[in-house]
Structure 1
C-alpha cells in the first residue's frame, strides 16, 4: 500500500501567524515552495491555515494592501486540511478532491513532516489517477 508519506516531499516549513506576507514570500523563494502552513501564535505545531504564493498576490498585492503590513494569519481563511502520514493514496486523493485543494500537509504524531503537491502526485501516481484528480479539482462544477 502506498501512503501519504511515500509520495510527499519532506522538509515542509511553517510560518508563524504573526509573520508578514513579504517574509512569507521570501521563505517561499528560499525554500522553493509555493505554499506554507501557518502556525498558531505561540504554538509552532498547531496549523491554523495555509497560504500560497497566489494568495499573497491575489488577496494582498492585487487588493492594494502592503505585504509588509499584512500577516500570514490575517490571510488564512477556512478550515485547514491535512492528512496522516499513514493514509492510503486513495485517501489523499479523496481529501484533495473533496476540498478542491492542490497542496496537502502531511502529519505524523501531530507534527508536520511534509507536503503533497500536484508535482508529487504527478511523480508517484499513474496518469489515470492524476487525470482523475485534476478533473475533479479543476472542474467548475
Structure 2
C-alpha cells in the first residue's frame, strides 16, 4: 500500500476469482492489528476486513450517488467505492469519489 501510495484496497477471496469480501485501510491495519498487539506480517486482511464500503456495479448511475460517513474519523471507508460485476467479482475501484462529478460524500 505504501509503495503504491494508496490507503484503502479491496479484499477478495482469491486472486483468480476476485470475489469481493470487503476493504481494508492502512488505518484498519494500525487500529485493528498493530494496536491490538499483533504482528502485521501475521495478520491476514480477511481477519480485519470492513464490509461497510459502498459497492456499485458498472452500470450504476453515479450522478447524485451519495456516500454517508459515520463520523469525522470515517475518512477512508465510506469515501471509497468498489465496483463489482453481477457475480461480485471486483472489476474496479474508485478511491476518491469526492473528486468525481455527481458523487456526494458527506
TM-score, L = length of structure 1: 0.56
Per the TM alignment, residue 120 of structure 1 is displaced from its structure 2 partner at its CA by 3.6
How many residues end up aligned between the 2 structures?
Answer: 99
Q: For residues 81 and 120 of structure 1, do their structure 2 counterparts lie closer, same or farther at Cα, with a shift above 3 Å needed?
A: closer
**Cα distance in 1, alignment partners of residues 93 and 14 from structure 2:** 21
Partner of 1:97: 68
Higher helix share: 1
Measured against aligned partners, the alpha-carbon deviations of 1:104-137 in whole angstroms (never above 9, x if no partner) come to 11124543232123x3422x326xx64xx22xxx
Per the TM alignment, residue 78 of structure 1 is displaced from its structure 2 partner at its CA by 3.9
4+ residue runs over 6 A deviation: none
2:101 is aligned with 1:125: yes
Per the TM alignment, residue 86 of structure 1 is displaced from its structure 2 partner at its CA by 1.3
Q: Is the 8 A contact 1:81 1:105 kept in 2?
A: yes
**Cα distance in 1, alignment partners of residues 52 and 97 from structure 2:** 23
Per the TM alignment, residue 72 of structure 1 is displaced from its structure 2 partner at its CA by 0.7
Larger Rg: 1
Per the TM alignment, residue 63 of structure 1 is displaced from its structure 2 partner at its CA by 1.8
Partner of 1:32: 5
Q: For residues 90 and 98 of structure 1, do their structure 2 counterparts lie closer, same or farther at Cα, with a shift above 3 Å needed?
A: farther
**Cα distance in 1, alignment partners of residues 97 and 54 from structure 2:** 17
Gap runs ≥5 in structure 2: none
TM-score, L = length of structure 2: 0.71
RMSD of aligned Cα (Å): 2.9
2:22 is aligned with 1:46: no
